[in-house]
Chains A and B, each alone.
Chain A
Amino acid sequence: MRKRTLNRGLAGFWWLTLAFLYLPLAVVVLFSFNSVNSAAHFADVSLRWYHQLLGNAQILSAFRNSLILAIVSSVIALVIGCLIGYGMYRHRHRRLGWLIVLIYLPIVLPDIVFGISEMAFFVQINRATGLLEPGLGTMIIAHVTFQIPFVALIVYSRFVGLDPTLFEAAKDLYASPFKRALHFLIPTLKPALISAFFLSFTLSIDDFVISFFTAGPESATLPIYIWGAIKKGVTPEINAIASLMIGAVLLAALVSLLFNRPRRR
């Protein structure tokens, strides 16, 4: 009897927490359809702000920057991270403590320290040599830096999950390392590579702090644009663009649910 009340209480708590988690997102989406520019008063349903989005050159360019940054950095991180993940696996019996520390560094470093140290470093290099002008280039460098560890760890754990004798078999089957990579490594890694790419992509799209400090005047991404608009207090279209981004995340969640359906045992 008491157990049932406990469970009912917990169920209530669960739904309350869920409301807490989704309330801020729901408010953003709701007010994106508001016909007046107010966060406190909902007047009428309209698509006004969505229409304005399409005419806002700054938002469109921020969107383009976000995409370029995410795609280019993810591709570079995928190549470099894969190599490191494979190296870590194949040489796991050696003393690679320094490598592990190096790989965990971008993960444990607080965002703000990460962003500021890169920004300070890039600024000084730029003053001395003219290289590394703040812009998409420096942002790509920064993003690749925090993506590499995730790719490396995903690839490494995929290798660890494989039967070690497979490597011997592949060695016997395919003479050249190139063929071995083409016919054995890349096909077996494919799921890991796909999830590593999507994780990198998401991390890049999602990042604000590190982008903010390494960005140049022309390379604002969507989160940076939104930040600037909020700070200036000019927010009419922000609800609309934010709603579109929330929609994209919900879509991604749906897709991941469909792909990772629990298998029947």
Chain B
Amino acid sequence: MVESSLTASRRRAVVGETRHLLFSVTPGAAWITVFLVLPSLYLMAVAFMTNGPYGLPEMPLSLDAFRQLAGFGFLGWSPGNAYTLLRSLWQTFVSTALVVIVAYPLAYYITTCREKWRPLMLLAVVVPSWTNQVIRTFGWMNLLAPGTPLSDLAESLGLIGPHMGLYPSDFAVTLGLVYNFLPFMVLPLYAAFEKLDVAQVQAAQDLYASPVRAFWHAVFPQTLPGLLAGTVLVAIPAFGMYVIPELLGGGKSMMLGNLVARQFSGGSNWPLGAAGAILMLLATFVGLYAMRRIGRRLGGGEEVVI
């Protein structure tokens, strides 16, 4: 008798907890499902439809969009889209590498400074990224336009032709990407440097390791989780970047994001745009997965965000 009433009360508690779970989680889960999961699924479906006369997707299912993305059009194969894809990969690679080269010594330097200055220094690195992306990029347009001191300097050094200006160009896009993503690399690297185990470095020095070897074997592996986290935070959004190539690239330096966006505005070809978006999603998930795997193997898997 006592036992059955106990199980009944326990069951009531379980039902109550489940009801609580549903009550608290449903609004948010439903919101994200309806307003993001369904739209993305719809977009993926669009990639497999045919382009209609008004740029809207129409029925017979086909792989036309992917064929077009690979460069096959009415007039046979053209390299335009392939160039855009390769340029996206190249820009992502170069800008991520440059960001690492700049952020690594910077993050180290911050940890060598006195403790009371460090929050201020980190804030100084982060504050520019709080301003609007469009405004930051506009600032670079003003700095790199023809006739500005920087452009004149590049011209007198013979780096660019007369009256060309440093923008619009691939160079301007790379610069904009590095500028935009630098803080995302500095923060995780700083976190890694801050909890660096100095004993390992001292041990290496005691064993007469050269500075280079000491760095390579005692310092670098310890900062690798931060480096990986930063790479995820930089490379993935850089690959899908829209604003910077659109403003600083000026049409000649399109990246995948611009190709996709263009299919939904002027040039209207939704299926092609959706196919490009799928490619971007694939890159995102492959990137996240790879970083997670590498992070796990290094033993610092928990450090890597997401």
Contacts and interface: CB of A to CB of B under 8 A. Distances in A.
Taking chain A's interface residues, is the majority helix, strand, or loop, or is none over half, making it mixed? helix
A27 B142 contact: yes
Nearest to A222: B132
B254 interface: no
Interface stretch (A15-23, A48-56, A168-176, A187-195): A15-23
Interface string B100-133: 0010011011101001100111011101101111
Nearest to B285: A108
Nearest to B287: A108
Interface string A228-242: 001000010011001
A82 B128 CA distance: 29
A262 B135 contact: no
B138 A120 contact: no
A209 B242 contact: yes
Interface in A103-134: 103-114, 116-122, 124
B59 interface: no
A110 B240 contact: yes
B28 A148 contact: yes
B261 interface: yes
Interface stretch (B3-11, B32-40, B71-79, B190-198): B32-40
B43 A145 contact: no
Interface in B232-248: 236-237, 239-240, 242-243, 247
Interface string B26-64: 011101110111111011001000000000000000000
A87 B21 contact: yes
A110 B278 CA distance: 11
B43 A40 contact: no
Given A40-B145, A116-B273, A21 B179 contact: yes
Contacts of A7: 109, 112
Given A24-B143, A88-B25, A110-B281, A245 B270 contact: no
Given A121-B43, A252-B130, A257-B120, A99 B29 contact: yes
Interface residues of A, number: 83
A105 B36 contact: yes
B138 A90 contact: no
A112 B242 contact: yes
Contact of A24 (B29, B36, B139): B139
B20 interface: yes
B295 interface: no
B109 A13 contact: yes
B268 to A, nearest CB: 12
B141 interface: yes
A218 to B, nearest CB: 18
A10 interface: yes
Nearest to A13: B105
Contacts of B247: 230
A113 B27 contact: no
Contact of B35 (A111, A141, A209, A245): A141
A205 B131 CA distance: 10
Given A14-B106, A87-B20, A246 B277 contact: no
A20 B179 contact: yes
A39 B142 contact: yes
B39 A118 contact: yes
B32 A106 contact: yes
Interface string A71-114: 00000000011011011101100100001001111111111111
A220 interface: no
Contact of B125 (A21, A88, A114, A205): A21
Given A18-B124, A120-B270, A142-B35, A13 B106 contact: yes
Contacts of A84: 24-25, 27-29
Given A14-B109, A21-B125, A152-B28, A27 B143 contact: yes
Contacts of A86: 24
A91 B28 contact: no
A28 interface: yes
8 contacts: A25-B131, A27-B139, A28-B138, A31-B142, A109-B36, A113-B40, A242-B138, A249-B131
Identify the 10 closest CB pairs spanning chains A and B, nearest first. Answer: A24-B139, A87-B24, A110-B240, A121-B39, A84-B28, A40-B147, A117-B43, A117-B39, A87-B25, A10-B109
